[in-house]
Amino acid sequence: MRIVRAPGRVNLIGEHTDYNDGFVFPMAIEPEVKIVCRSRKDDIIRIASTVYSGEFVEFSVQKKIERGKPAWGNYVRGVAAELIAAGIPLSGMDALICNSLPVGSGLSSSAAIEVSTARAILLLAGLEIEANRLALICQKAEQEYAQVPCGIMDQMIVAAGRAGHAMMLDCRDFNKQFVPINSKELRIVIVNSMVKHDLGDSQYAIRRRQCEEGVAILKRDHPEITALRDVSLEQVEAAKDRMSEIVYRRCRHVVSENTRVIEMAQKLLLQRYDDAGDLMARSHNSLRDDYEVSCVELDFLVEEAMKVKGVYGARMTGGGFGGSIVILAQPRALEAISEHLHKTYTAKFDRQPAVFATTATAGASVVE
């Protein structure tokens, strides 16, 4: 019997930039997925989950692996199928997925399931592959089998995170800059709104198509542009009259967010936490107004968090339409944050938020 873990992630800044070849700034967090697994003598992979009691996924690695029910099993099926497509021989496995990472909270439980499943399968086969390749295989699994047109951020930080550091990731060439997060000076607080969301719905794909439409318009004057990563705000403004209002605002968010990510890494390295918090506020406003992926619960949590002394900044994190916010705060502010948000959020929405502080942890690994 072997055990593999994969962390969740929180993105400090840089939302909806990854699938535009841009910059993101995530860190791996303490809540995680663990997989307990053992080899089988046949070619069957059979997996159950503590989150979905009574359900299990079963398929043969010697036959074409199809999408199916239950829906969460498509993350597992996709990983196995993409490992096989990559030329990696697989054998049978029994496994149980155990979560301390809440599903649908914007903390990338899907990528944690994908990466931990891949590591478990490889472990039992006596194989290892490097983190970038593992992340790409898991990304393709989510795109093809869960049918979510995701970027590379989630899988990369889950596979390659470094303890005590956030990762500024270039989603085009996978260059990584690890930025220390000093837990004595700075704590990361995550607040789950307890509003569920599904990134497989149409809204995620619509946003991606709108970005692609903007790129097509910008390419007419600048043929060298291949993604919004290559675009300046001046170019977006110059093309405004040729874009619909919605496409213009989508492009404005992505281009300005890329700049904020780069600035955020610099501010944290210089320990200029007030400036870093201001960048988070600007990011949230852009996601709310230009990209339109926030919701009233997240907006309320951000606004109330900023009223607590010792909070530098707050913003929604993840794909949006529910999920969580992330707060940058002084360690002494943790109790006040929890008390204030539990009181105000419950009074407003009759729902208790989940509030917890976390440190930056390492990427996926074998536990035993």
Q: Give which of 72, 157, 169, 174 is closest to 107, Cα–Cα.
A: 157
Tens of pLDDT along 50-84?
998 889 999 999 999 999 999 999 999 999 999 99
Structural domains for the chain: 2-172 (3.30.230.10)
C-alpha span between 122 and 6 (Å, rounded): 14
Kindly name the residue from 154, 173, 275, 289 that is annotated as catalytic. 154
Cβ atoms 33, 109 nearer than 8 A: yes
Q: Are 276 and 267 in contact (CB under 8 A)?
A: yes
From first to last of the 368 residues of the chain, give the pLDDT tens digit.
999 999 999 999 999 999 999 999 999 999 999 999 999 999 999 999 999 888 999 999 999 999 999 999 999 999 999 999 999 999 999 999 998 887 766 788 899 999 999 999 999 999 989 999 999 999 999 999 998 888 899 999 999 999 999 999 999 999 999 999 999 999 999 999 998 755 546 788 899 999 999 999 999 999 999 999 999 999 999 999 999 999 999 999 999 999 999 999 999 999 999 999 999 999 999 999 999 999 999 999 999 999 999 999 999 998 888 889 999 999 999 999 999 999 999 999 999 999 999 999 999 999 98
Asked if 59 contacts 43 with a C-beta cutoff of 8 angstroms, the reply is no
Is beta strand 44-49 parallel, antiparallel or unpaired with respect to 93-99? Answer: parallel
Tokens of 85: 């497509």
Neighbour tally for 300: CB within 10 Å: 18
* pLDDT number for residue 150: 83
Average pLDDT, the chain: 94
Alpha-carbon dihedral sign for residues 178, 325, 283, 272:
negative
The pLDDT of residue 53: 86
Q: Is 154 a catalytic residue?
A: yes
* Run of H or E residues at 277: helix 273-289
Consecutive H or E run containing 47: strand 44-49
> Rounded to an integer, what distance in angstroms lies between the CA atom of residue 361 and that of residue 107?
14
> Per 3-state DSSP, what percentage of the chain is helix, strand, and coil (rounded to 5)?
45, 20, 35
pLDDT at residue 101, rounded to an integer? 83
Report the C-alpha gap between 4 and 35 in whole angstroms.
5
**Residue 254, Cα to own-chain centre: how many angstroms?**
16
Query: Would you state the pLDDT for residue 203?
Result: 85
Give the span between the Cα atoms of 332 and 151, in whole angstroms. Answer: 35
Q: Which two tokens stand for residue 363?
A: 């990427």
Pairing of β 311-317 and β 365-366: unpaired
Specify the pLDDT at position 210: 97
Q: Where are the beta strands (DSSP E) in 172-309?
A: 176-180, 187-192
Q: What global pTM score does this model have? A: 0.91
**Three-state DSSP class for residue 48:** strand
d(CA 183, CA 196): 29
Q: For residues 23 and 153, what is the distance between their CA atoms, to the nearest angstrom?
A: 9
